[in-house]
Amino acid sequence: MNPAIDSILKKYKPGRREDLIPLLQEIQDENGYLSEETIVKAGNFVGLSTTKIYGLATFYDQFRFIPAGKIHIKICNGTSCFINGSQSVISKIREITGLEAGQTGRDGVFSYETESCMGGCNHGPIIKVNDEYHTHIRPEHLPELIKKLRFLIEND
Amino acid sequence: MEDLKKFMVEKVLLFESDILPAETEKVLQEVRREKTAIPVIYISSGTSSIIAGSEKAYSAVREYIDNNALKASLVKTGCSGPANFEPLVCIQLPGKNKLFFRNITEEKVEPLLNGVFHSDINEEDLAGQNGTHGFEMWHGIPFIDEHPFFANQKRVVMNNCGCYDPWSIDEYIARSGFRAFAKAIRNYTFEEVCDIIERSGLRGRSGGGYLTGLKWKQALNTGSTARYLICNAKESDPGAFTDRTLLESDPFKLIEGIAIASYAIGASSAFIFFRKGSEHARQRIQHAIDRAREYGLLGHNIYSSGYSLDIVIRREPGAFVCGEETALINTLEGKRGMPRLKPPYPTTSGLFSKPTVINNVETLMNVPAIMQNGPEWFHTIGTEGSPGTKVFAVAGKGRMSGVVEVEMGTPVRTILEDIADGIKEGKEFKAVQLGGVSGSFITAENLELKVDFDVMKEKGIGMGAGGFVIIDGNTCMVDLVRYYMEFMRDESCGKCIPCREGTGRMLEILESIIRKPENEEAGTTLERFKGVMQLEGIASVMKDTSLCGLGQNAPNPFISALKNFREEFEEHIFDRKCRANICRGLRTFSIDVDKCTGCTACASKCPVNAIYGTRLQPFFIVEDKCTGCGICYDICKFSAITVK
């Protein structure tokens, strides 16, 4: 167990349900995902059963229960990106990685998700790879980009 | 630093009169950088600027200053609106008007600065000059406020956007910030503040158009001991980025708006509910709250008025429905974000069963100006029923895009044709989509419609929270409606049946309309033919019986699209044709025998082996096998493949 989790718990008072979501968010910021162990721990801390916490965490799409890939791609699917062709970008990424949104590949390299608007509407379609934005993405740019990213990860 | 803080609090915020003495004004002018002895370089740094590369441009300017040992100050500002101009760089030489340069990416920084400092300005990058009283004009350079993008706007909420450093509380105070709040807590009672806002006629900017002052009064008059204020900054409509820009460019104004609103309802804690993903905005707001606390503007017994306030930031964990006020309250209480039955309304029983006022970002950001200039002033802007302005996020296929603020009563045509400068690449105009996933379409014949709560309501069009997406002829309306419905199906919380089942069924029917008709099970063909009628039926049931606004408004894009583009739906159903060539299932590809060289590129890439032929002879496509994926179309180097 990551000792940082304990220091996160220390910041809150036990037994307060309204702190549950910020607490889970901080744990996810720290670990990148919510492991079973942390969920049980958070449940004991807030005084709720583990199933209730799963029930809550699965309702919201921010929480993930498996670690994200080393390369996490966010694809903007706002209206403006949509009419500029974000759907074909999403299906291309699905085709190349063989994954659905929210999944992580077995090798732990790729994962992707869609976001409803990133705020760069005149540069669409936009994707964000880890923390870097790529603008005006066309499906044909993707094989090259993903090859480059995979190369970087494998040689790092 | 410490001295400036003391000065700002004692000589400015707590000064007895509205008019400050001349020596104080002189200091404030310096803080506002109006009188500088050295050049000042401003770089915009909102999300849209960062996406366009402003961070790299910032480092390049920093490097240029260091390398040339220049005496110049470098300031990051928020966005001033035009997203096409990003990264926007403004340069103010001592005593001269500010110059605006557009699209200054990393590599353009050096030539630009070389040019400016040696009086050889590259006209191509120039967007205009700012006309400020008492400064020397640049000859032959147009004024930025005469640019059609700015000339048709009226800035009340956005008056500071892009003008100052969003990390500097001193600069905000120097722009008469926080004075309205200081005045309110010292001179007015709770009721008086509510009264001023009610008399101003300010209406909620999130779409409903409810009188803000009235809402505050309802919460104030409940007689409860604790009350809460929530600022709803969960703007998650796809294609809306107004709140985000406002928060990034002018975070202190929101803090002031929240502080005044909290005072008006007597709340001692306020929450800001952020959407996930707007990290830049959240950091700036957190910083703004910390600075306001340092200056004694938040905390216990603010400036000995007996009033205490603290503001807490909460991040939205990712559910569209949380934008609905009762669902938002559930989320803040640590529950699933599902809406509650109304009444009781949140103003009587909201967060922790206490009276709660929920306002959106734009509404709260109108408050400081009203408090400062009075309710009568607010009535001089806008229309009689809807005073003030409205902020829109203009996006899509317009030539210009970005965040704009127009006076209420401005026709939609002005925003489309003057501010957004018409349609990109000279394509035909199809519609404007207002209000995001639950909004409606405005077509060419309705462009004279005025931006006004009552006028729009009469026409059955919801103004929404500020999405303004311009759609051209290359967009298929059926596909767009399907996309909205898919979004709604995914985001429906599942509490009430009409919304949970209705969105799913509507999506199924829409998908069957655009799907290729092969291997259809018995019912699907019939369903497709009944499609439009069934859809209309489901839509009206959802509208009448859903629990919250999400379900009630989910069919809006469909209803509006069917009203305005019925022939497009019928074409999809009966002629199996998509006029925009977007719907994959309805596309048919064929090979032009004169152009095909028989290179086999398409045949080898076809995922369903639908392309046949002999090498170096023209190939052909078997229509029955083709799935319309378009890979061959993209891959052909000789443009031999045509799409119908």
Contact assignment for B241 to A121 by CB distance below 8 Å: yes
| Two structure tokens written together for A40 | 């049980």
Close Cβ partners of B351 (under 8 Å, ≥ 6 residues apart): B228, B230, B271, B329, B332, B333
> Closest partner residue to B317 among A18, A63, A116, by Cβ?
A63
Q: How many CB pairs under 8 A join A and B?
A: 126
Q: Is the pLDDT of residue B630 over 70?
A: yes
A22 touches chain B (CB under 8 A): yes
Name the closest residue on chain B to residue A127, using Cα atoms: B51
pLDDT tens-digit map of B37-66 = 899 999 999 888 998 899 999 999 999 999
Q: Is the pLDDT of residue B181 over 80?
A: yes
| Interface residue A14 vs chain B (CB under 8 A) | no
B362 touches chain A (CB under 8 A): no
Q: Is the pLDDT of residue B521 over 70?
A: no
Question: What DSSP designation does B156 have?
Answer: S
Structure tokens belonging to residue B575 = 């002629």
Average pLDDT rounded to a whole number, residues B397-419? 93
B318/A contact by beta carbon, under 8 A: yes
Residue type, B62: R
Q: Which residues of chain A neighbour B399 with C-beta distances below 8 Å?
A: none
Beta strands B402-407 and B389-396, pairing class: antiparallel
Q: What is the pLDDT of residue B400?
A: 92
Residue with tokens 């999809």: B572
User: In chain A, whose CA is at the least distance from the CA of B338?
Assistant: A59
- Cβ distance B317 to A83 less than 8 Å, yes or no, reads no
The pLDDT of residue B197 is above 70: yes
In angstroms, the separation between the Cα of residue B26 and the nearest Cα of chain A is 38
CA quadruple B484, B485, B491, B496: dihedral positive or negative? positive
Read off the pLDDT band of B519 (50, 70, 90): low
pLDDT value of residue B389: 95
Find the CB nearest B276 among A62, A82, A139. Answer: A62
A70-74, B6-10, B425-429, B524-528: which range is least confident on average?
B524-528
A86 and chain B: CB distance < 8 Å anywhere? no
Name, in order, each residue with C-beta under 8 angstroms of B601's C-beta and a sequence gap of 6 or more.
B635, B636, B637
User: CATH homologous superfamily of domain A3-59?
Assistant: NADH-quinone oxidoreductase subunit E (1.10.10.1590)
Question: Average pLDDT in the B100-111 region?
Answer: 92
- B476 touching A (Cβ < 8 Å): no
Task: Tell if the CB–CB gap between B319 and A121 is shorter than 8 Å.
Answer: no
- pLDDT of B374 strictly over 70: yes
pLDDT higher at B369 or A122: B369
Residue B315 near chain A (CB below 8 Å): yes
User: 3-state DSSP call for residue B425?
Assistant: helix
Position B547 scores a pLDDT of 93
In the predicted model, is pLDDT for residue A120 greater than 70?
A: yes
Q: What is the pLDDT of residue B462?
A: 80
- Mean residue pLDDT across chain A: 89
B2 or B360: whose pLDDT is higher?
B360
Which residues from chain B sit within 8 angstroms of residue A133, using beta carbons? Answer: 50-51
Give the pLDDT of residue B194: 96
Interface of B with A in 254-283 (CB under 8 A): 276-278
Q: Does A62 touch chain B (CB under 8 A)?
A: yes
Q: Does B392 touch chain A (CB under 8 A)?
A: no
* Residue contact B337–A59, C-beta within 8 A: yes
Q: Provide the b/e sequence for B187-223 (b: ≥16 CB within 10 Å).
A: ebebeebbbbbbebbbbbbbbebeebbebbbbbbeee
pLDDT at B450: 93
pLDDT at B444 over 80: yes
Round the average pLDDT of chain B to a whole number and report it.
90
Residues of B numbered 419-448 whose beta carbons fall under 8 angstroms of chain A's beta carbons: which are they? Answer: 433, 436-437
Q: What is the pLDDT of residue B18?
A: 84
| pLDDT reported for residue B478 | 93
- Predicted confidence at residue B414, as pLDDT, reads 95
pLDDT(B120) > 90: no
Which value does ipTM take for this structure?
Answer: 0.90
Q: Is B334 in the A-facing interface, judged by CB distances under 8 Å?
A: yes
**Residue B120 CB coordination number (10 Å):** 9
CA distance B550 to B504: 14
Cβ-defined contact of B48 to A116 (cutoff 8 Å):
no
Q: How confident is the model at residue B158 (pLDDT cuts 50, 70, 90)?
A: very high
Rounded Cα gap, residues B22 and B477, in angstroms: 60
Domains annotated on chain B, with CATH: 32-151 (3.40.30.10), 194-379 (3.40.50.11540), 389-472 (3.10.20.600), 477-575 (1.20.1440.230), 587-643 (3.30.70.20)
Residue closest to B452 by CA, chosen among B393, B360, B389: B389
Of B584 and A147, more confident: A147
Distance CA B399, CA B515 (A): 33
Structure confidence at residue A153 (pLDDT): 82
Residue B122, pLDDT above cutoff 90 = no
Q: Are A82 and B483 an interchain contact pair (Cβ–Cβ within 8 Å)?
A: yes
Closest CA to B477 of A79, A138, A88: A79
Cβ neighbour number for residue A97 with a 10 Å cutoff? 20
> In the prediction, which pLDDT does B522 show?
65
Alpha carbon distance B423, B416 (integer Å): 8
CB B178: neighbour CB atoms within 10 A? 25
- Which residues from A are below 8 Å from B277, CB to CB? 115, 118
- Fold of the CATH domain A71-154: Glutaredoxin (3.40.30)
The domains spanning A3-59 and A71-154 adopt the same CATH topology: no
Helix, strand, coil shares, percent, chain B, to 5: 45, 15, 40
B233–A contact, CB cutoff 8 A: no
Summarize pLDDT for B200-216 with one digit per residue, the tens: 999 998 877 899 999 99
What would the mean pLDDT of B404-427 be, rounded to a whole number? Answer: 92
Buried b (16+ CB within 10 A) or exposed e, B495-518: bbebbbbbbebbbebbebbbebee
- The domain limits of chain A are 3-59, 71-154
pLDDT tens digits, one per residue of B216-249: 999 999 988 899 999 999 887 777 788 999 999 9
What's the gap between Cα A16 and its chain centre? 27
- Judged by a CB distance cut-off of 8 A, whether residue A18 touches chain B is yes
> CA-to-CA distance for A60 and B328, rounded, in angstroms?
12
Of the candidates A18, A21, A119, which has its C-beta nearest B241's C-beta? A119
Name the residue in chain A with its Cα closest to that of B87.
Answer: A120
A106/B contact by beta carbon, under 8 A: no
